[in-house]
Amino acid sequence: MIVVHKLPETQRLNLKDAIPAHSDHYLFTETISGSFEYPEHFTGLGIIAMLRGNGDFKINDVNTRLDENGFFVVNRGSKLSIRLHGDANIPVLLYFNTILSEVLTNTIFYRNKVSGTEAMHGFHDFSLLEHIHYKNATLKNHLPWLIDLGASCASFHALKADMLIRVLLDDIIAENYSAIAVSNNLAVVKRATRIALYKRLSLAKQWMELNYASSFTMDQVADVAMQNTHHFLRLFKKAFDITPHQYLIDIRIAQAKNRLTETDQSVSAICHAVGFDSLSSFSTLFKERSGLSPTGFRQQKRI
């Protein structure tokens, strides 16, 4: 059963007492105003998020600012500290049941494992996912629901909370499986180096997903990955089987399709809104990927 923990006012005065005790299916949340911090402590496998506001998070000696648009996946045994400033911040720490995570991990592994291949070493290690992920609608909905359900003593609500947690955990384990497969494409012998490279490439990939509408160069994207451009282009293609430039085009075309379907913006306005400078190149690329012109695509979707 999920446990929702909130800090009593007296505990907020003592940073040592503020460290939550991480039990299975443990959810910590609180509205915190003013300066506040958790000292460094070890975590379980879980999700760190901000429902409101932003905070400075240090995970395994790496400093990152987290706001309402992103979340962390933390590995079992990760080191975490949190510093919050401002008014009405709402941090959320959700830790999963150890046995459940092992069961789901083994299920996904054996379901996807190809006969005759080597076992993926370290499959229960989620350190490949210890970087910022950007919230999708499902996660944004699930966290408030979990808080409300977890605060209830009703057995039916507790069952619904456990089902929501299982959905979130299943998604994370599936993503970890994919991350391991992708990182293995890098063909780097030393695992620590492979993890570091994967994280850098993932940061660059997610940065493009957030900034697709802006004008930028691949040199700038390589800087996000903390690599020289030539090395970055080669590794990105090796890991994800697509060049960064082609990936960016795919993002922009996907966003254009959403706008063509859901808005009445002109094709020209959409072209520029998703990051293209030329209407002709946008139309050509759109047709290459969808088989229809932007106007034809809109008409087909509205029939």
For 215-237, how does the pLDDT look when each residue is reduced to its tens digit (9 = 90+)?
Answer: 999 999 999 999 999 999 999 99
CB 48 within 8 Å of CB 72: yes
Measured distance CA(26)–CA(175) in Å, rounded:
21
Tokens 């000696």 — which residue? 61
Beta strand 90-95 pairing with 46-52: antiparallel
Burial class (CB in 10 A: 0-12, 13-18, 19+), 238: middle
Question: What b/e readout covers 151-168, taking b as 16+ CB neighbours within 10 angstroms?
Answer: eeeeeebbebbbebbeeb
CATH domain 246-301 topology: Arc Repressor Mutant, subunit A (1.10.10)
Measured distance CA(199)–CA(189) in Å, rounded:
16
CB 301 within 8 Å of CB 259: no
- Tell me: pLDDT of 10 over 70: no
- Alpha-carbon 44 to chain mean position: 17
What pLDDT sits at residue 265? 93
Q: What is the mean pLDDT of the chain?
A: 81
Tokens 């040592």 — which residue? 16
Measured distance CA(241)–CA(218) in Å, rounded:
17
Q: Indicate the CATH number for domain 1-184.
A: 2.60.120.10
Beta strand 132-134 pairing with 70-74: antiparallel
At 188 the three-state DSSP class reads: coil
Q: Give mean pLDDT, residues 100-124.
A: 62
- Tell me: pLDDT of 110 over 90: no
Tokens 């993503």 — which residue? 175
More confident residue, 177 or 259: 259
The reply to whether domains 1-184 and 246-301 share a CATH topology is no
Please state the domain extents for the chain: 1-184, 246-301
Q: How far apart are the first and last CA of the chain?
A: 48
CB 48 within 8 Å of CB 118: no
Q: Would you give the DSSP letter of residue 128?
A: G
